[in-house]
Structure 1
Amino acid sequence: MTEENPLKLTLEHYQRSLLVLESSSSSQLSEVHALDILMVRDRLQEIIDSHSQLPPDLLLEITKFDRRLKKRGELIAKLINLVEWRNLLKPDPEAWWWWFPTRWEKFDWLWNALSITAITISLSLIVDTSTRLLSAKPDTFSTLAVVGQSVMTLLAGGGALTKAGREALEKILIALSIPPRFWQEISCGLAWLLMLSLLGLNAGLPRIAVMMNQDGMEDIEAGRIETAAANFQRAIALKPDYAQAHLNLGMIYEELRDFERAIVQYEIASNIKPTNEAERQAVLQAYSNLSRRKILDQNYSVAASVILSGLDLIETEPNAASDPQPTYELLKNLGWTRLEQGRLEQAETILQDALKLEPQSGEAHCLLAETFAAQGNEAAAIASSRQCMAYADSLNPNEDALLGQAQERLQEISR
């Protein structure tokens, strides 16, 4: 037998196998037929590799046969589980005939691209969520949430992108008897499921912020000031535009006499555009508190600007008249500001308008008494001082000093 005989015999076997593959329907073919032609192609490749040079006519014939085999690649992939046979025989990656894709596998590039997209989005969500959860003092919930979502992303990312991850995922899928043609789709589905879960968590952060703010309010009632501040900080981290939490944190700082940080929180809250009634009330309260701090700091022009901005907000609200308290607070502070600026007529008018909204307001009566006294209207000052004594609360730091002035004025009259 000559040296070329093994090659010619193998080519003949290759040709016969191709004819069977091309002439038979898929129902007539078996796994044996598909495996036979692949192993014949293996033997042919061994002979080709053992020859330093082959005649051009034989090379052309082999090329034609290979084209015919490639046309039936999808059928072969359908007849046999190529993944299992590759794991068993360990063919050379260059042996393309062992790597025919199924109809489903032709779209593996699309599933991989979608997986990468989902994982990329998931990573950005983790960065955003983790930053917000950990920007305040971490607690058990925030730590577990960050760790949990990071582990899930690593698992999904490893399964979709790394060789070790894919191999681990394949073992699981094989154990579950899931056909290989669906593996890429499953990997993609897991990546998107993770992404949607993280989107849900991210979207739910504002609701968690509301719970944190409520916890902070309960802490205040129980006297746990530091814990309350931590809860308000967490609420702000989860929902940066949360006016109520900024306001509450500012009030905590003010109670701790950290006035600079209190002002910062009031300024942030007052610059938030409210989307509901609760937020509107918080923003207006922030305007009131901020203007009061500016008055106490003798920064009267800024105080007036803050108050007028708050009144503008009230004018844009159709239901503002149903709750006169915010308007009263701002008018009272504006009257106070004008009094300190020496604009006494304006102060009198504004304070009278405030008292129309809250006739039993001790602070407004006290301020009006000081305004009348500055105008030299003793009779009106005495009358307002009596109202101040009747309604003012000495437990209120702002009213206590004014109450003392009213008492002195009335005592002088009685002498």
Structure 2
Amino acid sequence: MTETNPPPHRKWTDFDWIWNTITVGCLVLGGTFATDTVQAFSQGQWDLLQTFGTIGQGAGLVFVTGGALTDRGRQGAKLVLTSLRIAPAYQAEVTCAFAAVTLAATYGVNQSLPRLGDYYYRQGQRFYNAGQTASAVASFHQALNFDPNDVRVTIALGNYFEKIRDHEAAQKFYLTALPYGEPAAFSGMGRAIMRQDTSLQGLEAAELYFQFALSQAQLQPELKASILTHLGFVYVQQADLIARNPISVAELREVGMIQSADPVGDLQRRSEQLLRSAIALTDINPAPWPGKGMAYCYLAALLDQTDRPQEAQGRWEDCANRAIPASSNQYEDILNYGGLPILDRVNTSGIVTRYAHDN
């Protein structure tokens, strides 16, 4: 009778392939997170915070990747682990554990990118408040590298380019924020279009964005007052264009006036209602902000257009004493409609300070 030899006893190292497979999986995931993180870091000017973050991840990945994926690397890793007095039977497990820790650290840094974005956003605000505009814009761009979905940053950059009258660039940033339903983005888009295209078609497009902004929930009083002010001013401009230039039926249809027997009068009445609503919201908040009180100026211009000079004079006084234009565009509006006597008395601090609110 032939004796059957018992199966050989499996050694602990026979399972190293499992640990090596897990190690490679951790490396693949860690490499994905690290690549995304390094791309975010490398798109702007590096500083101490960024450098340490990237080097920390890179060092861990280089050590574990070299030890797991190449013969030379495995030999080197074995020497390091042996020098640490780790028995060969457990080196695969230790390498796997190190890969897992590296993956966790890489994932943690990657997930912290929005917090880094917030850091650079706040840094940009501080630069802007200090008058260091170039540094502020660089910080805002850096913030977008870390968190492209931060609508605060895109709106801040939109405000900046709008303020320097690069309305095309401003629209690109506002457009990025529109899918998030931010009313400030809709309002900014309307302002940028209104300034870039003063035709009936351009003003109609701006009107739609202001209407979208008003339809959003939970509007702050200051923002709502700003939107009402700009929408009212759109109607002032539309009424002025129609009054000065005969327009076609097609153009009347574009501005929603095809059924109106008096399109100029209807637009002026819409404007007056909106501007008075903006003034009511403005009057309940004593705090100043860039853009506050511009409804007085636009209402005064409207009253002049509708031959109510005495009412207009009172509103021009309110404009001179209470308006804080937020941009050179609004400053020019006061000059064009009210003249130098009003302009010389207006508070211009809002033009040179950061957008504390939507303007």
TM bracket, shorter-chain basis? 0.7 to 0.9
Correspondence list, 1:32-51, <5 A:
none
Match in the other structure for 2:227: 330
CA contact (8 A) 2:301 2:312 kept: yes
Q: How many residues align?
A: 303
Name the CA distance, whole Å, in 2 between partners of 1:407 and 1:390.
15
Name the CA distance, whole Å, in 2 between partners of 1:338 and 1:130.
49
Correspondence list, 1:49-88, <5 A:
68=5, 71-74=7-10
Match in the other structure for 1:230: 138
The partner residue of 1:196 within 104, 109, 120 is 104
Deviation at 1:408, TM superposition (A): 7.4
Match in the other structure for 1:309: 212
Deviation at 1:395, TM superposition (A): 8.0
Match in the other structure for 2:319: 388
Letter in 1 for 2:271: A
Match in the other structure for 1:159: 67
| Percent of residue pairs identical | 24
RMSD: 2.7
CA contact (8 A) 2:53 2:109 kept: no
Name the CA distance, whole Å, in 1 between partners of 2:126 and 2:119.
11
The partner residue of 1:355 within 279, 282, 285 is 279
Deviation at 1:159, TM superposition (A): 1.1
> Runs of 5+ in structure 2 lacking a partner?
240-266, 287-291, 343-359
Name the CA distance, whole Å, in 2 between partners of 1:290 and 1:156.
49
Matched, 1:292 2:206: no
**Which structure's CA Rg is the greater one?**
1
Match in the other structure for 2:338: 406
Letter in 1 for 2:204: S
Name the CA distance, whole Å, in 1 between partners of 2:311 and 2:54.
64
Q: TM-score, normalised by structure 1?
A: 0.66
Match in the other structure for 2:238: 341
Match in the other structure for 2:310: 379
After superposition, the Cα gap between the structure-2 partners of 1:172 and 1:375, relative to the gap in structure 1 and judged at 3 Å, is same
After superposition, the Cα gap between the structure-2 partners of 1:225 and 1:389, relative to the gap in structure 1 and judged at 3 Å, is closer
Letter in 2 for 1:401: E
Deviation at 1:345, TM superposition (A): 1.3
After superposition, the Cα gap between the structure-2 partners of 1:168 and 1:311, relative to the gap in structure 1 and judged at 3 Å, is same
Matched, 1:260 2:168: yes
Deviation larger for 227-236 or 249-258: 249-258
Which structure features the higher share of helix residues? 1
Name the CA distance, whole Å, in 2 between partners of 1:178 and 1:392.
75
Letter in 1 for 2:8: R
CA contact (8 A) 1:363 1:402 kept: no
Deviation at 1:135, TM superposition (A): 2.1
After superposition, the Cα gap between the structure-2 partners of 1:255 and 1:375, relative to the gap in structure 1 and judged at 3 Å, is closer
1:304-325 CA-partner distances (Å, limit 9, x unpaired): 12112211223xx3xx4xx311
Name the CA distance, whole Å, in 2 between partners of 1:379 and 1:255.
33
Deviation at 1:206, TM superposition (A): 0.7
- Where does structure 1 differ by over 6 angstroms across 4 or more consecutive aligned residues? none
Name the CA distance, whole Å, in 1 between partners of 2:109 and 2:281.
45
Name the CA distance, whole Å, in 2 between partners of 1:174 and 1:394.
71
Letter in 2 for 1:172: V
Name the CA distance, whole Å, in 2 between partners of 1:345 and 1:106.
86
Deviation at 1:234, TM superposition (A): 0.7
> Runs of 5+ in structure 1 lacking a partner?
1-63, 75-101, 274-282, 411-415
Name the CA distance, whole Å, in 2 between partners of 1:394 and 1:208.
33
Name the CA distance, whole Å, in 2 between partners of 1:366 and 1:236.
36
Name the CA distance, whole Å, in 1 between partners of 2:315 and 2:90.
84
CA contact (8 A) 1:254 1:262 kept: yes
1:18-53 CA-partner distances (Å, limit 9, x unpaired): xxxxxxxxxxxxxxxxxxxxxxxxxxxxxxxxxxxx
Name the CA distance, whole Å, in 2 between partners of 1:175 and 1:389.
80
Letter in 1 for 2:24: I
Name the CA distance, whole Å, in 1 between partners of 2:277 and 2:160.
31
Letter in 1 for 2:189: L
